[in-house]
Structure 1
C-alpha cells in the first residue's frame, strides 16, 4: 500500500507541471530501470520495428535503430548528433557497426546521461561517444557542425518540435541529413486528450498539444525549417500490433510475474487490461520515420 501511494504521488507531481522539460524528465524518472528492464538484455526505450518472426523487444528495438541509421545514412567518418538518446544503446551500435568519427548525444534526464557515460567509459569509447545534458530546441553547438542529426522516438517530447527542426537545420552541414523516428496521429480528427487507454497514458503525460499533428503537417514544418527532399514514411504496420501482442504475452507469462513486485505487476496488468479499447485507439496512432536534407551549397 505504501509503495502504491508513493507511486501515485510521483504521478501527480509529474502531471502537475506545465514545464515540458520537467514533465519529460519526471516521466523517465517515474519508472525505475530495475522494473523497466527487468526482463531485457538492452536498455532501448523504443517500441521497435518487428520483422516477421521477431518475438523479442530487444531485437525489435535494435532493428528500429538500424533502420533509423540506414535512413540517416550514418557512415564512416561522420560526425553525428543524437537528440534524446535515452541510454544510448543505438549510439553504441552505430559507432561499432557504421564507424562514424564521433557521436554526440544530448539528453535532459540525468540518470540516463550518467548511465551512458559510464558505459562509454567501461567500453573504452569515450573518445567517440560523448553524452551530455542539453536541449534539442537550444543545441549547444555551432552552425554547420554535424553530418547527421537523429532522434530515435524522442522528438515528440521536444517543445516545440518545430524549434528542434530549426536547430537541427542550423547545426547540420550543407547536405547533411536529419532522420527521426516519431509518433503522430493518423489523421486530424484524432483528439489526443480523448485517448482513454491506460497503455497510451504516456501520450497524455508527455506529448504537448503543439506537437500533435499528422505526417502532412510534419513534412510542411520540415520544409518551413529549410529542409528539402523531405519524406515522412509510416511504419506503423511493423510497430503497434506486434508490440501490443508482445506486451500481452509478456504480462501473461508466469515467469514475468515472478520478476516484479506485486504492486508493479498489478499496475502493468491494469494498464494493459482493456485490449479492445487499446486496439481501437492504436488504429489512430501513426509511427513514422522522417528524413530531410539540408540543401548543399
Structure 2
C-alpha cells in the first residue's frame, strides 16, 4: 500500500495516477460497512451509515437523470459497480455500460455482474472518459458519480458525453468543486482531503458558475448546477468520527489501513474548517433534440 502511495505521488500521467490511487483501495480497504460504494454520500435525515448515504447519492443521480426502463445508460467511472446493480434493481434501465480505467474495478465489478446473472444488461469495460469507446448518438443517459474531477479534462469529458448521447439525452454528474472564493486548493492541509491537491488538476478546479458555462460551451442546453454540499460534507465528516470509534471497523481493517484513516481524520477542527471551501454539486445538462 505504501509503495502504491509513492507511485501515486510521483506519477505525472493523470490516468495512471488515478488508476494507481484506486488500486490502493480494494473492497477490504473501504470505510463502508456492508457495500463497496466509494463516494461521500448524500446524507438524508436519519441516515447513519455511509452505505445508505452512498446509495442515496446514487439515487440522486438516477432521479436527476430520470432513468427510464428503455434507457441505455453510460456510467463513467463505476467503481465496484454498486450503483449500477442498484439502478438495475430500482429503476430498470434496459442496459448499463460502465467504463473505467482501473483494472481491479473492472474485474471485480464484472465478476459481481456474472454472479448476479446480469452480464446481458450490465457491461463493464475499460475505457477513457475523454475518448469514450462508443459510437455517436448511442446512449440515452451519461452519468459520472463522483469521478469527473479526475478526468483529463472534465471539459473534454463533457464534449465526449455530448457526442455519444442521443438527441434529447441527459448528462448528470455528482462532483467535487471549489466554492467561489474558497481556500486555494494548494493550501489544503487536512490529511482527510489533501488528496485533492494531488489528484485534481488545476484545469478541473473551478466553481459552480464556470462549471455550467463549460457544459453550455459544449452544446448542452437546460444546464443546471446545484449544490448539495450541506447534505454531503459535514455528515460525512461526522460519520468518520463515529466509524473510528466503532470496534468492528478496527477489527475488520488491517492495522495499516485503520491507522491511515485515523491519521487522516485526526484534526477534526481543521477538516471542518477546510470543508467550508468545497462545494458538492449535481450537474445536469441535455443534448438538444435538434442541433
TM-based fold match above 0.5: yes
Instruction: Return the offset for 1:225.
Output: 0.4
Tell me if 1:10 matches 2:4. yes
Show structure 1 runs of 4+ deviating over 6 A.
none
TM-score (ref. length: structure 1):
0.95
TM-score (ref. length: structure 2):
0.97
Return closer, same or farther for 1:57/1:189 CA change in 2, 3 Å cut-off: closer
Instruction: Return the offset for 1:133.
Output: 0.2
Match of 1:290 in 2: 283
Which segment is superposed worse, 64-73 or 249-258?
Answer: 249-258
Instruction: Return the offset for 1:95.
Output: 1.3
SS at match of 1:200: coil
Which segment is superposed worse, 92-101 or 170-179?
Answer: 92-101
Instruction: Return the offset for 1:208.
Output: 1.1
Match of 1:171 in 2: 164
- Which string of whole-angstrom CA distances, capped at 9 and with x for unpartnered residues, describes residues 246-281 of structure 1? 000110223322222333222211110001100000
Equivalent residues in 2 for 1:172-187, closer than 5 Å: 172-187=165-180
- Which string of whole-angstrom CA distances, capped at 9 and with x for unpartnered residues, describes residues 209-249 of structure 1? 11000010000000000001000000000000001000001
Equivalent residues in 2 for 1:76-225, closer than 5 Å: 76-225=69-218
How far apart, in 2, do the equivalents of 1:145 and 1:10 lie?
37
Kindly indicate whether the alpha-carbon contact (under 8 Å) linking 1:23 and 1:205 is maintained by their aligned counterparts in 2: no
Equivalent residues in 2 for 1:247-258, closer than 5 Å: 247-258=240-251
- Which string of whole-angstrom CA distances, capped at 9 and with x for unpartnered residues, describes residues 47-106 of structure 1? 110011110111111111011000011111011100001111111111122121111000
Which segment is superposed worse, 169-178 or 196-205?
Answer: 196-205
How far apart, in 1, do the equivalents of 2:209 and 2:226 lie?
10
Instruction: Return the offset for 1:40.
Output: 1.8
Aligned residues: 290
How far apart, in 2, do the equivalents of 1:63 and 1:126 lie?
24
Instruction: Return the offset for 1:199.
Output: 0.2
How far apart, in 1, do the equivalents of 2:229 and 2:171 lie?
20
How far apart, in 2, do the equivalents of 1:147 and 1:253 lie?
42
Match of 2:43 in 1: 50
Unaligned runs of 5+ in 1: 1-6
Kindly indicate whether the alpha-carbon contact (under 8 Å) linking 2:101 and 2:127 is maintained by their aligned counterparts in 1: yes
How far apart, in 2, do the equivalents of 1:186 and 1:19 lie?
27
Instruction: Return the offset for 1:35.
Output: 2.1
- Which string of whole-angstrom CA distances, capped at 9 and with x for unpartnered residues, describes residues 174-202 of structure 1? 11000000000011453111100000022
